[in-house]
Structure 1
């Protein structure tokens, strides 16, 4: 088994090395202090501790292709599991990577237009002020106290500071955050156990989603960022295909219900008609008998 793992690791590492060299010639720039060979070694170490829902090792159940693609996306984004910037999950026979709160921050700071990004949680009792100016949300102030951290969360916000020192605000209410969590592939127990960090992570992902696709940076980097974001959610909003399928399923159900209920209704109608006919016939017989009686009988 150890020999098979070593061969798998070498094959995938060699494949990624070749592809990274190609992408760098296509314009991909990795972080200056990022050693992707070390990141890959760290990733394989983490993968040996990763299991599917049936407690089977990820390296045994996942396809070689999905492992290679996942690790390539990790390298493309300049992430390292050793810095808790990402982690791996198994879905069926596919390996997927998800970014941590720190990972998304690190990725966004790689974009040329981003100088900094941060997020905070709004607690019950806090004073949070923002305005909408020229159609854009703008941060004004957030006042809080230490003891408020023990209060329920009412929302969260993220601020992206651009290279031109412009601040772009993204705000989410608790209801919006929980709606996003309900679409998440991550276990809900994680959100309940670490609500503050997960709320920050969610609002940063929302901010990133809107910002990344307007970036002038490498398409290879943007595609990798988007793929990883999509791995986390089943769907942030329903697609046209999803809505169409939902409508079609509803229509099919209505047709099926009609086909099942209509024969019953027809049979009930026939029974009612027979009953009415029997009543009419009985009334006719009674009328004829009455007409045959002599007056005064």
Structure 2
């Protein structure tokens, strides 16, 4: 058994074991989804991936990042053999990203979603929008024309059809799409330019999916994997608390300085004993203590996949 084969068996065994644990805790994989076949396809795909230094990802990337990618893939029920996902090496870290087909397949697994699809709008296509009774944007008319298919893209829209048959629209102009593309790690590879139609559909579907994913009552394991895979392709996509500490302190001060509502009798009693009242504790002492407590109890962001660390 060579080194690569041994590594594949080691990581695959660990991922398979973790998947079984997650299934016992409520994770539901798609019907007829064969996780073992998907893992084999994934390793075949990873074996062809190289980082920017032309080093094979299977050797250059950490075992932990490979295992996390594979677990994210299985959790979402994706398969590289169906071109639903692909792998990219950033230095010594491997990341998985969904294709357009993968995003559609994953979102259809959400309980509220009956169907989801996207269309691109070319120059000179007929495209009109309106609003419904609640003021939400809807597509009033879309008439694409064959002779416009080679013309420049001017936008794209996605439609999420709920089980109730209600349709939720998301519309993006080409300027908005370009701005989204400019923040992706793969932008310099010009994949968006070479496959602009499919990438535009994928971009608008990812935006449409955010509300459904973040408000879904589906398995937190799957929702977490969906969100993490989406954020993999963007630079600086981590959610951080950017509130300055001075502002936090100010907010805490306002919280502690709110006047307490007291009964008239209580106010009279306090007024009579005002001369005997003990000096108040400095507010800054309370603020500092409270701020330390908040930081101490602030939940840390841990991956659910920390249990799958390759040894």
TM-score class, shorter = 0.7 to 0.9
The equivalent residue for 1:206 is 207
1:41-80 equivalences under 5 Å are 41-80=40-79
Instruction: Tell me if 1:171 matches 2:171.
Output: yes
Shift of 1:163: 1.1
Aligned mates of 2:149, 2:43 — CA distance in 1: 37
Please tell me whether the aligned partners of residues 119 and 156 of structure 1 are also in contact (alpha carbons under 8 angstroms).
yes
Shift of 1:243: 9.9
Uncovered stretches (5+) of structure 2, i.e. residues with no partner: 246-311
Secondary structure at 1:241's aligned position in 2?
coil
Secondary structure at 1:154's aligned position in 2?
strand
Secondary structure at 2:209's aligned position in 1?
helix
| Per-residue Cα deviation, 1:118-138 (whole angstroms, up to 9, x for no partner) | 100011101112222213222
Instruction: Tell me if 1:195 matches 2:196.
Output: yes
Please tell me whether the aligned partners of residues 183 and 236 of structure 1 are also in contact (alpha carbons under 8 angstroms).
no
User: Relative to 1, partners in 2 of residues 1:198 and 1:224: Cα closer, same or farther, differing over 3 Å?
Assistant: same
The equivalent residue for 2:152 is 152
Runs of 4+ in 1 over 2 A off after TM superposition: 235-244
Shift of 1:240: 5.4
Aligned mates of 2:51, 2:9 — CA distance in 1: 23
Superposition CA RMSD, Å: 1.8
TM-score, normalization: structure 2?
0.75
TM-score, normalization: structure 1?
0.78
Secondary structure at 2:86's aligned position in 1?
strand
The structure where helix makes up a greater share of residues is: 1
Uncovered stretches (5+) of structure 1, i.e. residues with no partner: 245-297
Aligned mates of 1:32, 1:131 — CA distance in 2: 39
The equivalent residue for 2:282 is none
Aligned mates of 1:234, 1:56 — CA distance in 2: 22
Q: How many pairs are equivalent?
A: 243
| Per-residue Cα deviation, 1:83-124 (whole angstroms, up to 9, x for no partner) | 100000011111000000000000001111111111000111
The equivalent residue for 1:234 is 235
Please tell me whether the aligned partners of residues 181 and 187 of structure 2 are also in contact (alpha carbons under 8 angstroms).
no
Aligned mates of 2:196, 2:20 — CA distance in 1: 40
Secondary structure at 2:31's aligned position in 1?
coil
Secondary structure at 2:242's aligned position in 1?
helix
Larger Cα-atom Rg = 1
Secondary structure at 1:150's aligned position in 2?
coil
